[in-house]
Amino acid sequence: MKKLNEVSIDEVFETFVLIKEMNLRTSKVGKKYQQFKFRDEAMELNGFLWDTNDYTITNFVPGTVVHIQAKKELYQGMPQLNQIRLRLPNEDEPSNPTDFEKQPSMNAKQMEEEISKFLFKIEKANWQRITRKLVDTYREQFFEYPAAKTNHHNFTGGLAFHTITMLHLAEKIIEIYPQVNASLLYAGIILHDLGKVIELTGPINTQYTLAGNLLGHIAIMDEEIIKAARDLKIEDTKEEVIVLRHLILSHHGQLEFGSPVVPKILEAEILHQIDNFDAKMMMMLSNLEQIAPGEVTPRVMGLEGRNFYKPNY
């Protein structure tokens, strides 16, 4: 059976997919229908089941693997699935949701080893103590959660993988700019998105929690740093704690993007730039992986709605 990215436009196909999201909608004429986000290891696609009923609403829910027959179409330049027929898998057919998630190039054990390596590179004692405590507190979620609900690194293990990529980028930057405080930058990177383990519900059918909706991961992690410092008997008014908090609070770079302050120290600006860079690279690469050379991606909404061409070279 084909992967979703192997199916041509206007092709009718069948395969197994994971229901990533399902929303019950009502049409203009008052008829209910189900809007899905399906995924396999290769890509995600939206789709619509127009003939919905109590059975489909009850059984075709997020986190469920289903057999799908559908037609891949273009709508306003974006691929989607229509003419959908769904059924649950038989006993001898694929049914494990994890098998349909995009997989990072490192497994959980490898990612834990990488994070541990960089924790030892944090030479400032209190930064290492705070960072290590928070990683230990949320270890299971850190290596399981996605980095986002949509857009970038939105797959199982995406949060840790995004963090590790940023640490590797920081390591190279520090080689070029030795003025950078490596300990502060590494600590800030490891903690910058860790609040997402509280902001989000998990890797399957990822949603925002109440704290995620009302506070957001930036405010959540700032509070977690303060609590960790106090638990470790570190005075939270000390400069070393304040500058670490500043890296977290400013990492979105602009007030309109959710940071309560803009970067005002060297390491904060670097953290913001490589966070932004890695997120954009992941969005671009994920879309380019889904097309053949000579083709153009659908519009990538996280990148100003731009399309990207994949050259033949």
Q: What range does the domain containing 121 cover?
A: 108-286
* pTM (two decimals): 0.85
Q: Is 160 strand, coil or helix?
A: helix
263 with 142, same domain? yes
User: What is d(CA 42, CA 146) in angstroms, rounded to the nearest whole number?
Assistant: 16
* Least confident stretch, 74-88, 233-247, 256-270: 74-88
Q: State which of 67, 100, 133 marks the end of a domain.
A: 100
60 with 122, same domain? no
160 with 259, same domain? yes
What pLDDT was estimated at residue 207? 87
For 102-158, write each residue's pLDDT tens digit.
Answer: 777 788 899 999 999 999 999 999 999 999 999 999 999 999 999 888 777 788 889
78 with 136, same domain? no
Asked if residue 295 belongs to a domain, the reply is no
Task: Decide if 224 contacts 134 (C-beta within 8 A).
Answer: yes
Q: State which of 100, 120, 151 marks the end of a domain.
A: 100
User: What is d(CA 155, CA 280) in angstroms, rounded to the nearest whole number?
Assistant: 15
Find, among 212, 183, 193, the residue nearest to 134 by Cα: 193
121 with 242, same domain? yes
Mean pLDDT taken over the chain? 92
38 with 155, same domain? no
| Tally of domains in the chain | 2
User: What is d(CA 259, CA 135) in angstroms, rounded to the nearest whole number?
Assistant: 22
Asked if residue 149 belongs to a domain, the reply is yes
Asked if residue 298 belongs to a domain, the reply is no
For 63-115, write each residue's pLDDT tens digit.
Answer: 899 999 999 998 877 789 999 999 999 999 998 888 887 777 788 899 999 99
Q: Regarding beta strands 12-26 and 78-87, do their DSSP bridges make them parallel or antiparallel, or are they unpaired?
A: unpaired
Amino acid at 245: R
Asked if residue 39 belongs to a domain, the reply is yes
For 196-217, write each residue's pLDDT tens digit.
Answer: 999 999 887 788 999 999 999 9
188 with 255, same domain? yes
Looking up residue 39, the CATH number of its domain turns out to be: 2.40.50.140
189 with 257, same domain? yes
For 141-152, write each residue's pLDDT tens digit.
Answer: 999 999 888 777
Backbone angles phi, psi at 107, to 5 degrees: -85, 175
